[in-house]
Amino acid sequence: MTRPYPAALAAWRGAAPAPAVASPLPVPALLERFHPDRQHSAMVTLAVGSSAGQPCRAELAALLQADALVEDVDIAGAPVLEADVLVIGGGGAGCVAALTAARAGARVLLATKLRLGDSNTVMAEGGIQAAIGAEDSLQRHFEDTLRAGHFVADKALVAALVSDGPAAIRWLIQEGMSFDLAPGSDRMGGQLLRRKPGGATAARLLSYRDFTGLEMMRALREATLLQPGITLLDRHPALELLTDDRGRCAGAVLHDLAQGRPVLARAGATLLATGGAGRLHAAGFPTSNHYGATADGLVLAYRAGAALRDMDSLQYHPTGIAWPPHMTGALVSEAARASGAALVNGLGARFVDELATRDVVAAAILREIAEGRGIGRDGVEGVFLDTPGLEAREPGILAQRLVTLTHLAGRAGFDAAQEPFLVRPTLHYQNGGVAIDAAGRTAVPGLLCAGEVTGGLHGRNRMMGNALLELVVFGRRGGQAAAEDARGERPRSIGLNHLAEWRRGLIAQGLPLTRRTPILFPPYGNFDATADRGRAA
């Protein structure tokens, strides 16, 4: 039976500091019984498209196997914009790709769904991995990443990620990003502070306080706004990709939210950096993701003929806020556990290695709740994250290094140095996505992808810190490749040429043509792009 909050609080105080323990359940059994991805009733088999036959979460499959929002008649007479490279997505990967392409001489259109920087990048708190320590190596980072992803990741992508890691950190510093320095260092010649992230065999996590992603996005946003050759289109989400008569991607149909009308953006190469799918709330979980994370890039790339992979794998971050209700799903950074904060159940006992991989820690928390050792408060269940114990061991750490965590506690109405957080897993990342090569190219000529929209790099579980590294490494690789591709033969006979074959596939499988995607915003946003366009007309 779940322990009431007052009793659990008394048990925590009585046992503090609780000793470390190993999970009595072997990892394979723990994941099979308690991880949400292993609940097979939540999966369906894709019936149409280039990845037909693959398992996929039902929430994603419903969007993927749907008709387009637009037809030829909808875009007749729409304004036309021309560029060498079109980048769709204004988060970290999109900014890096746009910067790289522009610096390679391309004329770039950068289209965002919301505003530049409104993305999951700003919510990445824990840090970025890179093998820069004397005791570390590229090989160790490579092996750690493969192991964390259960050895199903694309080795070529992992090799590209880790080999570019040190150069990516140097590039970020050159762009103006700040990092924490090791004690005793000074700004003129200090060593970067490194910590050991969950699942790693070496200390390679670099950070800026506990808002690393926000600091990264600050630097990237400023660089993007100052970079010649980039035209920014804020509040222009993509409705559909454009293709030519040979199946080559030729840009996209954008939706001007301010004017309520479609805009055609034609380009020699198109790069999707649209992020993930957290706002679909798979399996009913809350999410740490930003408002626009609705799988748009997956939908558009798949309809155009790109292959997908690992679409039955999502990541549930172990420490989302469970209470108070108005903050449900907000992230308590893994930086807290990397710094030594323990997870404690309703009996006052630790139950897992807090620096195990995220899928293991999340499954362990769900097990405690399912078997009655969780903590109940106002109808929600979770476990404690013992921040007071961390503060007692390292006085001042919450105020000085875990600033975001301290602010979260303030918003929740308590002092994190005196009272633990009540946490439970929150939907955090999309492990699967569009299949790419090491340059970011997809199976569709002229279409590239970077960042969370892609699949293959993380396997079935992502290591902390690899997402921020991914967006830099593959944003740079994809931006360079897009600039090169745009110099080749330009698309011709541009339109919605791929939709006829797609609709034939839907009809052949008995799937309805009445469901239309992408949805652009979560269902509770009550946004309808087609209705908006009708009002503008």
User: What would the pLDDT profile of 362-388 be if each residue is shown by its tens digit?
Assistant: 999 999 999 999 999 999 999 999 999
pLDDT (0 to 100) of residue 433: 98
On whether both 133 and 223 belong to a single domain, the answer is yes
pLDDT of 128 over the 90 cut: yes
Whole-structure pTM over 0.75, yes or no? Answer: yes
Q: Which amino acid is at 207?
A: S
Q: Both 344 and 261 in a single domain?
A: no
Listed residues 413, 428, 443: the one ending a domain: 428
CB proximity list for 374: less than 8 A, separation 6 or greater: 2, 3, 345, 346, 368, 381, 382, 383, 424
DSSP string of 280-341? Answer: G-GGG--B-S-TT-S-HHHHHHHHTT--EE-TT-EEEEEEEE-SSGGGTT-B--HHHHHHTP
Say yes or no: 234 and 136 in one domain. yes
Tens of pLDDT, residues 260-279: 999 999 999 999 999 999 99
Catalytic residue among 358, 377, 424, 460: 358
Q: Does residue 146 sit in the same domain as residue 18?
A: no
Q: Kindly state whether residue 62 falls inside one of the protein's structural domains.
A: no
* Centroid of chain to Cα 407: 23
User: pLDDT category, 535, cuts 50, 70, 90?
Assistant: very low
Active site residue 358: yes
> Between 98 and 16, whose confidence is greater?
98
**pLDDT reported for residue 534:** 45
297 assigned to some structural domain: yes
Pair (289, 423) in one structural domain: no
Identify whether residues 99 and 209 lie together within a single domain. yes
Residue at which a domain ends, from 428, 445, 472: 428
Check pLDDT > 50 for residue 469: yes
pLDDT tens per residue across span 177-235: 999 999 877 666 679 999 998 889 999 999 999 899 999 999 999 999 999 999 999 99
- CATH code assigned at 476: 3.50.50.60
In this structure, what CATH number is given to the domain that contains residue 345? 3.90.700.10
- Nearest 5°: CA angle at 342, between 141 and 407? 90
Looking at the fold, whether 293 and 165 belong to one and the same domain comes out as: yes
Radius of gyration of the chain from Cα atoms? 23
* Total domain count, the chain: 2
Domain stop point among 399, 428, 457: 428
Residue 14 lies in a domain: yes
Looking at residue 420, its amino acid is: P
Helix spans in 16-57 (H): 27-34
- Give the pLDDT mean for 393-411: 93
402 and 452 inside one domain: no
Residue 527 is assigned to a structural domain of this protein: no
Which residue segment(s) compose the domain that 249 sits in?
72-313+431-486
Q: Is residue 412 part of a domain?
A: yes
Please work out, in degrees rounded to the nearest 5, the angle formed at the alpha carbon of residue 363 by the alpha carbons of 194 and 453: 65
Distance in angstroms (rounded) separating the CA atoms of residues 257 and 260: 5
**Residues facing residue 232 across a β-bridge:** 110
Do 368 and 449 belong together in one domain? Answer: no
Whether residues 128 and 210 share a domain: the answer is yes
Does 22 have pLDDT greater than 90? no
Is residue 462 domain-shared with residue 356, that is, in the same domain? Answer: no
Q: Kindly state whether residue 25 falls inside one of the protein's structural domains.
A: yes
Residue 271 lies in a domain: yes
Q: Does 97 share its domain with 221?
A: yes
Position 351 pLDDT exceeds 50:
yes
Residue 506 belongs to a domain? no
